[in-house]
Structure 1
Amino acid sequence: MKFSSVYPLRQNRAHEVCGEGALVFAAIAAGQAEGMVVWVSERWRPVINPEGLTPYCDPGKLLVTRADSQLDVLASMETALRSRAAGMVVGELTGSIGLTEGRRLQLAAEAGHTRALIIIPEGTGSNAAETRWRCTGVASGPDGDGPPRQNRPPQNDHDSTRWRWSLIKNKIGTLSEWVVHWDAAAHRVIVVSEAGG
């Protein structure tokens, strides 16, 4: 399966992401979305700092909002999706999401002609999601392979940071995974290798 057939994320659909690299995946997707991006999380969680996402996304296009509970996050996402005011809606969830809630987000994304990205805990998710991704870091050395560089964590060098993006649910095709890195100068995801069929 070609990476370009599943990424960028399809419009008018709800997608999910989990794993240690889920926030970076969401930030990159938000940076590639057209128009404003609504980012919703529960009030008790640490709030994302839009300035911290600058390597991946223009912080000026983010509207960060807080909700009192996961149910309120889902309701806020649905309202934002249906409004047609946002190019993308990101929601951070801390618990599982049922089929009914997932289907409501899918219908809202279709109605609003936008896309939803739900950051979920590992092992959760809804059968209604179009795709589900697992994102993990890949250690890289000076040439991109091997152990991390001495005294220089890979996450501090955005042009050499690599992730394994695994497509673990796909309603429209097969599953696959890729090793990718972020090219800050070109502002795009580069596929380094196909890690699995």
Structure 2
Amino acid sequence: MRAEPSPGDPFGLRQRRVHEAEGRGRRAFAWFQAIHHPGTLVWISPAHAPEIPMLRGLPQGIGERLHLLRPTSEIDLLWCIEETLRAAPVALVIAEPSQPLSLTAGRRFQLAAEAGRTTGLLLIQTDAGSNATETRWSCEQQASAQAGSTLHQWTLKKNKQGAIGDWLVNWNGASAAVHMVCEAGERRRPAEPAR
């Protein structure tokens, strides 16, 4: 199981908590988190969802740890989320609810994550999250001139335990490493020599 994120890790998700990611880049953020959570991974997606994780396209080492659940109704999906969060051997639960989450559902998920010592990441539609969530991330893909690379704008919009922030990262999806990208004009320049 993953240790608590260090203060220098801006993308670490606290254990025993449920987090949310929204935006077009939310699935890339989820795969990034999957790489950083060793152990069993459960991805819960509605049966009617047109996109499902394909083994050949996953980052290395994910496919053999991944369990895919496809419930047929939203009630079954919420039940699956709660029960897998309670399952102690699960390292990370990633779920894609199709309906906005109520405060009650969000609180139930938090209690289940605490009981199971599990981390949850809900991939939500924009502004469809629960007030009970620990953190909420906005994840968007950005245009990149470099072939084979994707820039991501990951914005921490809500954080119950600390500061919020905005990062532009370069992540190719194949490894655990990300490279922070400076905004234009914000690069560190060498100090001016003393006169």
Structure 1 residue 184: deviation in Å? 5.4
CA distance in 2, matches of 1:108, 1:23: 23
Partner of 1:191: 180
Query: Does the 8 Å CA contact 2:44/2:95 hold for their aligned counterparts?
Result: yes
Select which of 33, 37, 52 maps to 2:41: 37
CA distance in 2, matches of 1:5, 1:194: 19
Question: After the TM superposition, which residues 39-58 of structure 1 pair with which residues of structure 2 at under 5 Å, given as runs?
Answer: 39-55=43-59, 58=62
- Cα distance 1:33–1:109, how it changes in 2: closer, same or farther (>3 A)? same
Partner of 1:148: none
TM-score (norm: length of structure 2): 0.83
Question: After the TM superposition, which residues 1-197 of structure 1 pair with which residues of structure 2 at under 5 Å, given as runs?
Answer: 4-55=8-59, 58-142=62-146, 157=148, 160-182=149-171, 186-193=175-182
Gaps of 5+ in 1: 143-153
Structure 1 residue 176: deviation in Å? 1.2
Q: Which amino acid aligns with 2:153?
A: R
Q: Which amino acid aligns with 2:38?
A: E
More strand by share: 1
Identical pairs, percent: 39
RMSD across aligned C-alpha pairs, in angstroms? 2.3
CA distance in 2, matches of 1:3, 1:97: 29
CA distance in 2, matches of 1:125, 1:56: 30
- Cα distance 1:57–1:71, how it changes in 2: closer, same or farther (>3 A)? farther
Larger Rg: 2
Match of 1:188, SS state, is coil
CA offsets 1:97-138 (integer angstroms, 9 cap, x no match): 010000111111111111000000011100110000010011
CA offsets 1:154-174 (integer angstroms, 9 cap, x no match): 6xx1xx211000111111122
- Cα distance 1:5–1:58, how it changes in 2: closer, same or farther (>3 A)? closer
Gaps of 5+ in 2: 1-5, 187-195
Match of 1:77, SS state, is helix
- Cα distance 1:186–1:116, how it changes in 2: closer, same or farther (>3 A)? closer
- Cα distance 1:95–1:88, how it changes in 2: closer, same or farther (>3 A)? same
CA offsets 1:158-195 (integer angstroms, 9 cap, x no match): xx211000111111122211001225565222222379
CA offsets 1:46-76 (integer angstroms, 9 cap, x no match): 2413425423662111100111222211211
- Cα distance 1:55–1:185, how it changes in 2: closer, same or farther (>3 A)? closer
Query: Does the 8 Å CA contact 1:183/1:190 hold for their aligned counterparts?
Result: no
CA distance in 1, matches of 2:158, 2:183: 17
TM-score (norm: length of structure 1): 0.83
Match of 1:89, SS state, is strand
Match of 1:193, SS state, is coil
